[in-house]
Structure 1
Amino acid sequence: MQPGIPDEEQARTMTLEAFADTIVPGEKRSPDDQAIAGAVTGGGAVVAGAVELLETPATGLAPALGDFARLLNEHARSYAAQCGLDLGTTPPPFVALSFSHRTALVGILTAPGHPERELWVSVALFSNMAFDTAAHMHTLDAIAAGHPGLAAMGFAKPDADGLWRFPDYSYGRRLAGLHPDTTSTGSPA
């Protein structure tokens, strides 16, 4: 835990990060990183800003994130008991699970028929969204910061003026001509 940050807030953040890392894994930020399991190399959902995206008002989830983390940790305790796992007292229960056990538990929570499925699928979707689109950032800022998802997808950098222009057609051929009323800026007249 980090000094100066209340334990409950740290537990919430670590738990949400561990969930996001289960959805889009990444490498540890440091050797003592407990939230990120380090299942793959390169940045995953956490480094891409999954928690930052979840905390934005636009998601509609921000006010309940503490409750989600507590609920996820309750599920982790129950899961650990069923599997005969000793999670200890720190870190938070979901964080204490190995990556394979985190994945198994998330699979249970997001399975058809689970009563909380919609909640966990929503959190998973935002974790993906943070990685795939950097939805919580301006695209130019994300590219400049080396956003791991945009970089992994090979998202094209804009021209020097900050605009994207594509001189080559993505399908290798022009699919349609411009409408005759299209202005020089690309807008319909």
Structure 2
Amino acid sequence: MSPVDRRVILKALTAAVGMLAARPLTAVGAVPSEALSGEWTVQTLEAFADTMIPGKRRFPGDLAIAGVVNGPGAVHAGAMHVLTSPELPIAPVLPEVAALLNARAVVYAASHLILLPVISPAFVGLAFRHRTALTIELFDTDDLDRPIWQVLGLLVGMAFDTAAHLDTRQAVMAKHPGLDWLRFPLPDSDGLWRFRDYSYGRTLAALHPATTPSGSPT
């Protein structure tokens, strides 16, 4: 993969983070098959997401999810919905990201004398402990592709921690796996959140008398 390709990938991933921070996505439902070129790309990205935030297997023989925990993980929380959203500029570069990850998995397997299965992508074929060890290497400060994995991991985390692809109120009411696992509070009856308990047990500052109804200073 050339340096130009890496810049294109990182640019698309970074743009996606900015868009998610600005507003929630609207894409829901099954991950569209046309969003990615091949089932192996989907499996590889799901395996990466499951390595970042593990979850239980969805069905017997689930290859992408290692099933090292009993609770929901990033895949259950909609990581692939975020990555494949038509509102984000990521889908075109995801096959390259998956190919890069699998290439790194092949090198890792060779250096550790691991025989990879031929029925699944290289990263998916690694046991969870090896997926984790490789991911630690990917996040090493000296790794050339570290920014790619950092931003990809951030997007995966946003799917679990914030339900970035859904309206927050609807996600909470529907018991989104990530928000429900984190015990994200329900909104008030008008759909708004108000936090009356301060983190230090007291108000840190009095409300300025010129504050507008929306909470903005004048």
Q: TM-score range by the shorter chain?
A: 0.7 to 0.9
TM norm structure 2: 0.76
CA distance in 2, matches of 1:128, 1:185: 29
Residue ranges of structure 1 left out of the alignment (5+ in a row): none
The count of aligned residue pairs is 185
Amino acid at match of 1:178: L
Deviations 1:35-85 (A, max 9, x none): 110111211111111121122366543320011111111221222122221
CA distance in 2, matches of 1:38, 1:66: 24
Match of 1:150 in 2: 179
Per mean C-alpha deviation after superposition, the further-off stretch among 10-19 and 167-176 is 167-176
Q: How does 1:59-138 map to 2 (within 5 A)?
A: 60-138=89-167
**1:164 alignment partner, SS class:** coil
Q: Is the contact between residue 72 and residue 181 of structure 2 (CA under 8 Å) also seen in structure 1?
A: no
CA distance in 2, matches of 1:169, 1:117: 37
Residue ranges of structure 2 left out of the alignment (5+ in a row): 1-32
CA distance in 2, matches of 1:85, 1:167: 54
CA distance in 2, matches of 1:81, 1:186: 58
Amino acid at match of 1:90: I
Q: How does 1:11-50 map to 2 (within 5 A)?
A: 11-50=40-79
Verify: 1:179 aligned to 2:204, yes or no. Answer: no
Between the aligned residues of both structures, percent identity stands at 50
Choose between structure 1 and 2 for higher RCO, CA contacts under 8 A separated by at least 6 residues.
Answer: 2
**What's the offset of the Cα at 1:141?**
2.0
**What's the offset of the Cα at 1:19?**
0.3
What RMSD in Å do the two structures reach over aligned CA positions? Answer: 2.2
Question: Taking structure 1 as reference, are residues 106 and 174 closer, same or farther at Cα in structure 2, changes over 3 Å only?
Answer: same
TM norm structure 1: 0.87
